[in-house]
């Protein structure tokens, strides 16, 4: 993907750039995608070779922003690519989508994914004007559960039995959801904004806007 022509913006946090994924990110992402510990709860198996990782990334490279989009996490300090975040199953008619995330093990526990996920949520709620963001997560994935609960997702149900099929086995998943109104409220509190400075749920998004902004439902 040529980032300069993409509708996907570059997102920025304190320590990271979130860049639209490109073919040449495969080698860096292979470190994470080949690690069975990282891939334990992910919906595709650990790669054996860089080619496996590249083939998997080919799916992410298909430009379909109405359905999915992926950003790699690039450390500002080192320019190293250490993981990715994405949205998928975007349904414009329902103003909802799902998000996913993955980080190389060497970088776990430093608050990096929390930073990246906050930036992605801001883009989903304000840039894409979504009303609802979902995550499905393996009940044993304590790190992911802690992460999503920490940014405001609420447990909504599960285990959803046999929801995921990976490496010949069906897996149960929990479902979590976050509504724009909830996110806006917590975001506003965090940044100590005055109530009248908080974007209203019905207002058109004004940052990171995709061409055309909010579409008629
Ligand atoms: C889930 C994952 C992205 C978390 O990334 P991370 O950068 O280490 O997370 P953060 O450092 O931002 O931590 C977020 C919260 O989770 C907690 N956490 C991190 N690892 C944890 C673990 N192994 N067990 C329990 N809590 C954990 C942190 O303490 C933090 O909680 P706090 O905000 O209350 O302090 C990372 O572990 C990962 O890539 N896992 C493999 C891929 C995966 O499972 N993706 C999710 C598929 S749904």
In this prediction, residue 199 has a pLDDT band, given cuts at 50, 70 and 90, of very low
In this prediction, residue 192 has a pLDDT band, given cuts at 50, 70 and 90, of low
CB 111 within 8 Å of CB 78: no
**Chain segment 42-78, per-residue pLDDT in tens:** 999 999 999 999 999 999 999 999 999 999 999 999 9
> Is the confidence at residue 214, as pLDDT, over 70?
no
In this prediction, residue 1 has a pLDDT band, given cuts at 50, 70 and 90, of low
Q: From the CA of 167, how far away is ligand 1's center (Å)?
A: 23
| pLDDT given at position 93 | 98
Residues of the chain with pLDDT > 70, as a percent, come to: 85
Rg (C-alpha) for the chain, rounded Å, is 17
85 Cβ below 6 A of ligand 1: no
Report the nearest-CA residue for atom 12 of ligand 1: 111
Q: What ranges make up the beta strands (E) of 80-168?
A: 81-91, 96-103, 132-137, 154-166
Nearest-CA neighbor of 183 among 108, 128, 138? 128
Q: From the CA of 154, how far away is ligand 1's center (Å)?
A: 16
> Is the confidence at residue 206, as pLDDT, over 60?
no
215 Cβ below 6 A of ligand 1: no
Q: From the CA of 109, how far away is ligand 1's center (Å)?
A: 6
Q: From the CA of 111, how far away is ligand 1's center (Å)?
A: 8
146 Cβ below 6 A of ligand 1: yes
pTM: 0.89
**Structural domains for the chain:** 8-197 (3.40.630.30)
CB 170 within 8 Å of CB 164: yes
């Amino acid at each position: 993907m040529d980032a300069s022509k993409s509708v996907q913006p570059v997102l920025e946090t304190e320590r990271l750039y979130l860049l639209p994924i490109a073919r040449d990110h495969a080698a860096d992402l292979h470190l994470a995608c080949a690690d069975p510990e990282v891939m334990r709860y992910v919906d595709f198996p650990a790669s054996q070779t860089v080619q496996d990782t590249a083939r998997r990334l080919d799916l992410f490279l298909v430009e379909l922003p109405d359905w999915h989009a992926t950003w790699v996490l690039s450390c500002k300090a080192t320019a190293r690519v250490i993981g990715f975040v994405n949205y998928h199953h975007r349904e414009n008619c329902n103003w909802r989508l799902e998000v996913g995330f993955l980080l190389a093990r060497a970088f776990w526990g430093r608050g990096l994914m929390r930073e990246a996920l906050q930036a992605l949520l801001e883009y989903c709620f304000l840039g894409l004007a979504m009303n609802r963001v979902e995550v499905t997560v393996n009940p044993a994935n304590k790190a992911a559960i802690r992460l999503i609960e920490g940014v405001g997702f609420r447990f909504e149900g599960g285990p959803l039995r046999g929801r995921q099929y990976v490496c010949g086995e069906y897996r149960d998943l929990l479902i979590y959801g976050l509504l724009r109104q909830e996110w806006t409220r917590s975001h506003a509190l965090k940044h100590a904004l005055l109530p009248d400075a908080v974007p209203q749920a019905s207002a058109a998004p004004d940052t990171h806007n995709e061409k055309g902004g909010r579409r008629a439902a």
